[in-house]
Amino acid sequence: MFKDIIIKGARQHNLKGINVTIPRHKLVVITGLSGSGKSSLAFDTLYAEGQRRYVESLSSYARQFLDQMQKPDVEHIEGLSPAIAIEQRTAGSNPRSTVATTTEIYDYLRLLYAHIGKPHCPKCGVAIKGQSAEAICEKIITLPPNRKMMLLAPYVIGRKGEQKDILDKLKRDGFVRARIDGEIYELDGKLPKLEKNIRHSIEAVVDRLVTGKTESSRLNDSIELALRCGEGVITVLLENPEDKKGKWTEEQISEQLACVKCGISFGQLAPRNFSFNSPYGACPTCNGLGTQLIFDPEMVIPDPGRTIKQGAIPPWRRGPRRLMIYYKHLLRCIAEHFGIEDMVTMPFKDIPKNVRDVLLNGSGDDIIKFDYWRSGKMHKLAKPFEGILKNLQRRYLETESEDVRERLKKYMARRCCPECKGNRLRPESLAVKVGDIGIHKYNELTVADADSFFEKLKLNDEEKTIAHEVIREIRSRLSFLKDVGLSYLNLNRESGTLSGGEAQRIRLATQIGSGLTGVLYILDEPSIGLHQKDNVKLLNTLEKLRDTGNTVIVVEHDLDTIRRADYVLDLGPGAGRHGGELVAAGTPKEVEKTKASITGKYLSGERTVPLPSKRIKGDGKCLSIEGAEHNNLKKINVKIPLGTFCCITGVSGSGKSSLIDDTLRVALDRHFKIGTGIPGKHKKISGLDNIHKVIVIDQSPIGRTPRSNPATYTDAFGIIRDLYAKLPESKMRGYKSGRFSFNVKGGRCEECHGDGMKKIEMQFLPEVYVTCSACRGRRFNRETLSVLFKGRSIADVLEMTVTDAADFFSAIPKLHRKLKTLDEVGLGYIHLGQPATTLSGGEAQRVKLSAELARIPRGHTLYILDEPTTGLHIADVEKLLEVLMRLRDQGNTVLVVEHNLELIKTADYIIDLGPEGGDKGGQLVAEGTPEQVAKNPKSFTGQFLSEILKK
C-alpha cells in the first residue's frame, strides 16, 4: 500500500519537470501566485491521470460513452487513487435544475409525499376520500341523458414496452376493444406497433352505454368489473355534443381518492405525480417551469415619458412598412373612439388610464370602428381591439421567422405562471400534504428550516415505519449542505442562479453523502463566496472527508485554509514562465520558515496587505436605496457614498446580491437605457443623476468560443493587426488589417480554418486534437507569417505572455497602455492568444477590468465588481487594490461585493448585511469605515475585521 502519491517530471503547461511527493489520506493545500502552475499540477496532471487510468480500465465499449482525458506531460506517477474533481464552475442554466434536484433531496421528497402524503381537494381543501362503486354509479345516473358513454379500465399507464402480453391478456379475458395511447382499437383488428422505448397507456373498454337508457344493475356490474380490472381506478368517457371536433370529455375516478363535494377525483399517488419533469406531475400551462415567457408592459413601453409618435411603443416601430401603416391607422381609430385627438402626440403616461389599459390589454367586448387603406381601397370594420400585448403574443407564436421571434423576445420577460403560481405542479399534486404543508411549500424552505421541519413532524406508527428511511436520507443531505455553509439556500433555488462557489459546495456535499473512501478529491478554491464565519464549517467538512479515508487536495489562497492543512505545496516563484517550480513543501509551519516562499511570508505575518494611509470620504454625494425588500431584504435603507471605494459585506445569503445585482444594478441599467429588466422590490432609488456611467465587471466569460482571447477582448489585437498592415512588406504586397486575422479567409490557414489544431474522432478513445500539419499550429498561412515586426510574426505575438508583449511593444503607447494594465491586474502570465474558454471566472473579470482601465478616465463612473479577488493570491490582491484605488482617485466610485478581509480592510466605507443568511438575514447590520464596523458587536464581519486590523 502506497503511503504517498509520488509525481516525477511534471511538465504540463508551465511546470518545469518538478518532482512532488504528496502524503495520502491528508488534507493537502496547493498554493502560489496566480498562474504559478497550481491548476496544472492539481487538475491537468493529478486529476487527468487518475481519471484517465480509471477510464482505461473499462471495456472499449464503455469507453466510447465517456469523456476521456489526454495523458498529461509527466514522466511517472505512483500511489494514485481514482480521482474526483470538484471544480469552481456554475451549475448550468437548466431552469428545471434546483438545489433539491441536484442533491437528490427532491427525489426522496417525491417518495415521501407519494407514500404518506394526505390528498386534499384542490378546490375546497377538504381531505380526499375514495368513492365506492355505488357512489360512482349514482354520479353517472345523474349525468345528462342520451349521451354516449364508455367505461374503461386502465391496465397500463405511461409505461415503456411493446405491451404484447397485456394486449394478449385483454383478448383472453374477453374484451373486444381497447384504448391504446388515446385511440380506440378493436382487439381482433389491426393493432398499432408499440415502440419499446416510448411510454404507452392501454385501457380496456369494459362497456359502451347511453346515459339514461341503461339499467342500473348493468351499470353497476360494469363499474365493478372496470374497478376490479383497473385496480380501483375507472376512466369514464362521455360524448360532448357541444364540442365541434367531436372530442369526448374524460374523467378518471378512483375508489380511493375523490372529493364528493366538488366531484374531483384522481388516481393512486406515485412519485411521478410530484415530478415537474413528468407530464403526470407538471403544471400543463407552464410545463413544470413555474414561469411563462410573456410580453411585459414595462418592457414594451420602456419610457412612458415618450409620445407614441416619438416611439413609446418600440415593437410597433419595426417591421414591414405595410404593417407600420396599419398600426398607425389602428391607433388613429382608437384615439377617435375615445375622443382624444392628440393621443399620439402626448406622453404615453399622460394618456387616460382606461385608454392605456385598452391599448395594452385590448377593449374586451367593446366594439371599435376601424378604417384603413390597403391596396388602394378603403376597408371598414367594427370589432374589439385585441391590445398591443396580445398582438405581440400572437405575432410571436405565428411567425415562422427566427429573426422576428428573436426581435420580439427582447420585450418579453419570465413571469410567474398564473395557473400554478410558480409552484410547477398540477393542482392535485400541490394539494397533497405532509404535516400540513404541500411539497411546494416544503421546497420554499431554506436548508436549515427544511431540516427543522422533520424535528416537529408528527407521524403515526405506520407512517413512521414507511417514512423512516426516506426521512433519514433527506436529513443526511440537508446536514451535509449545512456543514458546507449553505444553510441559507432555499431548496427551490434554481441551479443557474448559484455562484460558482455555491455550486461547488453543493457538489462537495453530494460527494460527502456518497460515503466513498480511498478516493482522491481535488477541489478548486472551495472558500470562494464564503464569509469567514462559514469558512470554519467548510474546513471541518474537508477534514471529515479526509478522516473517512480519502486524500483531499485543495487549490487555495485563503490563509485560514492553508493553516489548517496537513501539508502545503507552494508553487512559484512567479507566474507563467516565471513559475512552475516547487518553492516550498511541508507543514504550514515549515512553509512559513521557507525564505523563498511569498506565501510563507504572509503566513508568518512578515508581509501583509498594507492599510491605506487615510480613508476617503468621497465627494459628499451618495446613491440612496430606500425600502429595499427583494427576496430576504427587510425594507432596508442604504446609502453608498460616491467617490469612494465601498465594500458590500455579509455572511453568505445575507442579501448582498439581492441588493446590488437584483435591485441597484437593474435600476441603473434602466436609468441609462442599457436594459429593460425589472429591479427588485424597493421604494425609491435617488442620486442616479450624480453618476454619468455604470460599468459592471462580472465573472461571465469574455467570449464563448476559443477564437476569443484577451488580445481581441481588449482591442489590443486590432492595434497589432493595424501595425502589421502598415509594415513596408505588407504595403508592398497589398495586405490590409484583415490579412492578419485568423477569423477570415485570406491570411489564415485554410486547412484548419485558423484554429491551429484539427480534431480527429476516435470513437471509444478520446478525441484527438492534432497540430495542423499545414501551419504547424501557427493559425496563419506561410505568406502572412513571413511579415515580421522586430523579427516576430503575428503568430509569435499571440504566443507571447502579456508581460513579454508589454516590453516588446513598449514604443507604441496606445498598445503598451492596454498590455500594461493587463499586467497590473495580475494577468502578466497569460498568453495574448489564450482562448477565452480556458480562462477562469476571476481571470475573465480581470481582463474586463483591464479593458476599462485602459480607457481614458472621465470620472463619475460607478464600477460594480463581484468578488474580484477570486483566484488571486494575496500578493496579487495587493496589485488589484492599486488598480481599484487608481479608479477611485480618478473621481469614480468602486462598489465591490467581497468576502476577502484583506481587501475589505482597505475600503473607505463598508455596508454589512446580515446578521445571518436566508430569512435571518436581509438587515443592515453595520455601516461605516472598517474601524467603525469592527467595533459593532452584532457584525460577524466586524468581529473578524477587529482581529485583522490589530495585526
Identify the pLDDT of residue 765. Answer: 52
- C-alpha grid cell, residue 582: 516547487
The tens digit of pLDDT for each residue in 342-390 reads 898 999 999 999 999 999 999 888 898 888 777 777 778 888 999 999 9
Contacts (Cβ under 8 Å, ≥6 apart) of 235: 151, 152, 153, 154, 203, 250, 251, 252, 253
The DSSP-derived string for 133-181 is HHHHHHHHHTSPSS-EEEEEEEEEEEEES--HHHHHHHHHTT--EEEET
What pLDDT sits at residue 853?
80
888: its cell numbers: 477611485
Nearest Cα neighbor of 159 from 208, 202, 125 is 202
Please report which residue ranges of 457-573 form alpha helices under DSSP H. 461-483, 500-514, 532-547, 559-564
Return the biggest CA–CA distance within the chain: 104
| Fold of the 4-90+499-604 domain | Rossmann fold (3.40.50)
pLDDT value of position 213: 84
Domain boundary assignment for the chain: 4-90+499-604, 133-262, 294-416, 610-692+858-951, 710-839
What's the CATH fold of domain 610-692+858-951?
A: Rossmann fold (3.40.50)
Is residue 423 within 8 A of residue 400, CB to CB? The reply is no
Query: Which superfamily does CATH assign the domain made up of 133-262 to?
Result: Ribosomal protein L1/L10, rRNA-binding domain (3.30.190.20)
Nearest 5°: the CA angle 129, 134, 137 is 105
pLDDT of residue 475: 95
Backbone angles phi, psi at 461, to 5 degrees: -60, -40
Which residues of the chain carry a pLDDT beneath 70?
1, 88-93, 260-261, 263, 500, 676, 761-769
Contacts for 581 with CB less than 8 Å, ≥ 6 apart? 16, 18, 571, 572, 573
Collapsing DSSP to helix, strand or coil, 714 comes out as coil
Q: Which CATH class is domain 294-416?
A: mainly alpha
**Other CB atoms within 10 Å distance of the CB of residue 914:** 25
Q: What is the pLDDT of residue 767?
A: 59
DSSP state of 49: H
Burial class (CB in 10 A: 0-12, 13-18, 19+), 346: middle
Each residue's pLDDT tens digit, 793-806? 999 999 999 999 99
Cα–Cα distance measured from residue 223 to residue 235, given in angstroms and rounded to the nearest whole number: 10
Domain 710-839 is classified in which CATH homologous superfamily? Answer: ABC transporter ATPase  like domain (1.20.1580.10)
| Same fold for the pair 294-416 and 710-839 | no
Determine contact, residues 119/431, Cβ cutoff 8 Å: yes
Whole-structure pTM value: 0.74
pLDDT at 454: 95
Contacts of 121 (CB under 8 A, 6+ apart): 127, 128, 259, 261, 262, 264, 431
Query: Does residue 145 have a cis bond before it (omega within 30 degrees)?
Result: no
